[in-house]
Chain A
């Protein structure tokens, strides 16, 4: 049972435009959300996170939005750059105290120069 879902396996965006990656979750116990970026042959690298007490967190070109009532979060990348081309994973953590992350299946972003 996939508790974190990324329904778009791929996304193509022109350089300089906005990339919007979406993520949905089903477990209401999740209270901490993260985005990871993964290049081929490398492990995922942390990008940005958001706690459930916030609805927005911004870090440079990256902004994560959280809509708790819809159990939905999104990652906005503005402006998109070719180096952003990678697989993006959404992850969530539950407030049970455990340290494990629940990941989505990933969205492959391609930024076209």
Chain B
């Protein structure tokens, strides 16, 4: 079974720009969660999508948004980028039940200059 894939793996953007990251979950998984990893904060939950609906949301500003398509693939968008948005963005897929193991992708390393 193919794992979780994320594209692109690396990205450099300028302050004020916007960016879209993509995540393809494991086949059959309906839940996709997004996390931001920074050195000082560890992994922080952004949001979760299940069957094309946002089911849960973390404490991030509205500049961070996402969506999920009918094939469970998910995209995350960050508008008006700030220097502090530089981070590793990880997505995780699962079957969607509470306690189901979440499988993480390798992440997208975003650098904002």
Interface residues of A (CB under 8 A from B): 2, 6, 32, 36, 41-46, 49, 51, 89, 91, 93, 97-106
Contact = CB atoms under 8 A, between A and B. Distances in A.
B56 A105 contact: no
Contact of A99 (B4, B42, B56): B56
Contact of A98 (B92, B98, B101, B107): B98
Majority SS at the chain A contact face: loop
The winner among A43, A101, A102 for most chain B CB atoms within 10 A is: A43
Given A46-B101, A93-B99, A99 B48 contact: yes
B90 A42 contact: no
When A and B form their complex, which 4 residue pairs have the shortest distance between CB atoms, in order from nearest? A43-B104, A105-B42, A103-B43, A100-B45
Contacts, number: 67
A99 B90 contact: no
A43 B42 contact: no
Interface in B74-113: 90, 92, 94, 96-107
Interface residues of B, number: 30
Interface of B: 4, 31, 33, 35, 40-45, 48, 50, 55-56, 58, 90, 92, 94, 96-107
A44 B94 contact: no
B40 A100 contact: no
A13 B61 CA distance: 41
10 contacts: A2-B42, A44-B90, A45-B104, A99-B55, A99-B98, A99-B102, A100-B58, A101-B43, A101-B45, A102-B45
Given A89-B43, A103-B42, A43 B55 contact: no
A46 B56 contact: no
A8 to B, nearest CB: 13
A43 B41 CA distance: 16
The winner among A45, A91, A101 for most chain B CB atoms within 10 A is: A101
A22 B33 CA distance: 26
B94 A99 contact: yes
A104 B42 contact: yes
A105 B41 contact: yes
